[in-house]
Amino acid sequence: MSGESSTQDGNGTAGRVIRIGTRKSQLARIQTDSVAEKLKELNPNVHLEIVGMSTTGDKILDTALSKIGQKSLFTKELENALERDEVDLVVHSLKDLPTTLPLGFTIGAVLKRENPHDAVVLHPKHAGKTLDTLPDKSVIGTSSLRRAAQLKKRFPHLEFKDIRGNLNTRLKKLDEKDDFAAIILATAGLRRMGWDSRVSQILGPEDCMYAVGQGALAVEVRARDKDILEMVSVMHDPDTVLRCIAERAFMRQLARGCSVPVAVHTEVKDFQLYLTGAVYSLDGSDSLKETMQTSVEPGNEVEEAAVDEGAHRVGVTASNVSQAAQDAAEKLGMDLAKLLLSKGAREILTVARQLNDAR
């Protein structure tokens, strides 16, 4: 078992000091604090300690993420600390977590999703405008191939340029210089920072579908730590779990890694899970998009917590969510990816990757 300080009682976690790993950015701390508050409400006798650390993605600020070509840019250092028993759980933005986790780790909680859509944040001089009404050749800042590919196709009068840094840094670059007319950011991050007033426009799926897992927080734990896994699992939001399993299965089947333009949109309605997935060329001129659905009505199975590699679905362990529904969600993602691959998705993504590497 891990090396927590402890004065344990019967449930295995009461009285223990549980160390939570997080990135040091303001947004990461806000997200981690929100998870810590939920854990404390559910487990009043647990003592929580937050451990901040910097990741590779935080340190490389002069290169577009898609050009770095390394998975786990924002997670590896946190997972190393988890492996060394320096922390007991780690809070991530789910979209930062690869669809295949290192052996011995699992996502023990996927919390209720914030709005997953992207937002337009305008330079103050363009207040009141939208992407449609910005002047020709206006420069939009985004380091996401997914966003740029969709928006280039949808708004051909605009130009797109990489912008890096955390939320604070990117907003400063927007406001204090004239380089950008607007930047594209995740609505969820802006809301968690309390910056709703900066959201000029929320982009619906007809303009820009979102990234796999966007808007959801994930708690990663050691799979062997059954008491920690049990403690965090009550934070699972069933609909978010099913949507994100489908999205992650789609991504894993289609293209491992985030340096390709892949986008999704999911919805659960009347026990039906709808998944739309798409792939794009870098300029958005070539794309494939399809929608499939499946029933996620809970089965009658007796659900026994089995914390082993077989219990994971694209890295997620959720013994308190219908296993039949999880199986259906995972199959939906895989089936949609296979459909797109049969129509030429691999060729589109291969060219996109090659062109991105050559930039």
pLDDT in tens, 147-182: 999 999 999 999 999 998 889 999 999 999 999 999
Q: Residue 358's pLDDT is what?
A: 80
Name the residue type at position 258. C
Q: What is the mean pLDDT of residues 18-22?
A: 96
Contact 202, 116 (CB under 8 A): no
Q: What is the mean pLDDT of residues 96-104?
A: 91
What are 30-72's pLDDT values in tens digits?
999 999 999 999 999 999 999 988 765 444 444 454 444 444 5
Q: Residue 311's pLDDT is what?
A: 62
* Exposed / middle / buried, residue 188 (Cβ in 10 Å: 0-12, 13-18, 19+): buried
Beta strand 47-53 pairing with 17-23 = parallel
Our answer to whether residue 335 is catalytic in this structure is no
Residue 6 pLDDT level (bands cut at 50, 70, 90):
very low
Name the residue type at position 313. R
Angle, alpha carbons 306-309-310 (nearest 5°):
65
Contact 65, 143 (CB under 8 A): yes
Q: What is the mean pLDDT of the chain?
A: 88
Look at residue 304 and tell me whether its pLDDT is greater than 70: no
Look at residue 141 and tell me whether its pLDDT is greater than 90: yes
Residue 205 pLDDT level (bands cut at 50, 70, 90):
very high
Q: What is the mean pLDDT of residues 93-99?
A: 92
- CA dist list (Å): 26 to 169, 189, 193: 11, 10, 8
CB contact set of 60 (below 8 Å; sequence gap of 6+) = 68, 73
Residue 346 pLDDT level (bands cut at 50, 70, 90):
very high
Q: Residue 60's pLDDT is what?
A: 43
Token pair 């920690």: residue: 228
Q: Residue 332's pLDDT is what?
A: 98
Sign (positive/negative) of CA torsion 89, 90, 91, 96? Answer: negative
Q: Residue 256's pLDDT is what?
A: 62
What are 216-272's pLDDT values in tens digits?
999 999 999 999 999 999 999 999 999 999 999 999 999 765 578 999 999 999 999
Q: Residue 69's pLDDT is what?
A: 47
Q: Residue 310's pLDDT is what?
A: 41
Q: What is the mean pLDDT of residues 338-353?
A: 94
Look at residue 292 and tell me whether its pLDDT is greater than 70: yes
Q: What is the mean pLDDT of residues 278-307?
A: 82
Point out the catalytic residue in the list 96, 118, 237, 335. 96
pTM of this structure: 0.89
Q: Residue 301's pLDDT is what?
A: 54
What are 184-199's pLDDT values in tens digits?
999 999 999 999 999 9
Helical pair 226-233 and 26-42, crossing angle rounded to 10 deg: 90
Look at residue 134 and tell me whether its pLDDT is greater than 70: yes
